[in-house]
Amino acid sequence: MAVFFILMFSLILSSSYAAVQDFCVADYRAPSGPAGYSCRRPETVTVNDFVYSGLGVAGNTSNIFRAANTPASAAEFPGVNGLGISMSRVDLAAGGVVPLHIHPGANEVLLVAQGTLVAGFISSDRNTVYLKTINSGDIMVFPQGLLHFQVNVGNATPVLAFASYSSPRPGLQIVDYALFQSNFPTQLIARTTFLGIPEISRLKAVFGSTN
């Protein structure tokens, strides 16, 4: 039996240099590449790298959207690095809204844990708005790169939902932020969206563009 274990042992040894077996827990201090963060050596990995408790706490919804998004992507949760999956928590106070946005890097499935939402996405080929009221226990899929949104339509009931993504780095582009909280010149916004200048200026004030 001895030699068999020796062979196994040598397999373990060589693997200890590999750090690429089974999982690739993110090493935030080493270079990252197109496929994600570098991997930590497996001997430094513990079960805590595979568990994340940050989604157990409600986000603060005292903001203009009455909403909070708490991510558990590879940047916060090292265990999902390279694994094609991640999550986030969505809290919506009464009247809260997840404004029109895109995930450039992932498809999403949203699980409603509490409350009632109107949710929708817009297809690119026909500009169809796929719109539905969804309730606790429902799941809805939002394809990658398409504009979508969710609105709390329950009377005074907060919404708790969890989004799952098909990538450890889904990204999040909120249209209002992209336009009105960025360095996007007003004239260029007007030309590329046909929005009126006064409306743009109003929204830049709302969203805090310093441009």
Burial of 194 (0-12, 13-18, 19+ CB in 10 A): exposed
Residues in contact with its own copies, shown as a per-residue x/- string from 172 to 201 under the rule CB under 8 A:
xx-xxxxx-xxxxx--x--xxxxxx--x--
Q: What DSSP designation does 65 have?
A: T
Cα–Cα–Cα angle for 163, 168, 171, nearest 5°?
70
Assess 21 for contact with its own copies (CB under 8 A).
yes
Is 115 a binding residue for its own copies by CB under 8 A? The answer is no
Round to whole Å and give the CA distance between 29 and 39.
10
Q: Which is nearer to its own copies, 108 or 154 (CB)?
A: 108
Give bridge partners of residue 18 from the DSSP assignment.
none
The two three-digit tokens of residue 195, written as one number: 């929005």
Restricted to residues 151-170, the positions that interact with its own copies (CB under 8 A) are: 151, 162, 164-167, 169
Of positions 92, 108, 161, 204, contacts its own copies by CB under 8 A: 108
The residue to which tokens 């909120």 are assigned: 174
List phi, psi (to 5°) of 107. Answer: -80, 155
206 lies in the binding site for its own copies (CB under 8 A): yes
Q: What size, in residues, is the chain? A: 211
Residue 9 in contact with its own copies, rule: CB under 8 A? no
H or E segment to which residue 198 belongs: helix 197-207
Chain residues 71-90 in contact with its own copies, contact rule CB under 8 A: 71-72, 74-77, 79-87
- Choose which of 94, 116, 143, 158 interacts with its own copies (CB under 8 A): 143
**Using the rule CB under 8 A, which residue among 92, 94, 139, 161 binds its own copies?**
139
Least CB distance to its own copies at residue 174 (A): 8
Kindly state whether residue 117 participates in binding its own copies, applying the rule CB under 8 A: no
- Closer to its own copies at the Cβ: 17 or 155? 17
Q: Which residues contact 9 (CB under 8 A, 6 or more apart)?
A: none
Residue ranges at the known binding site for Mn(2+): 101, 103, 108, 148
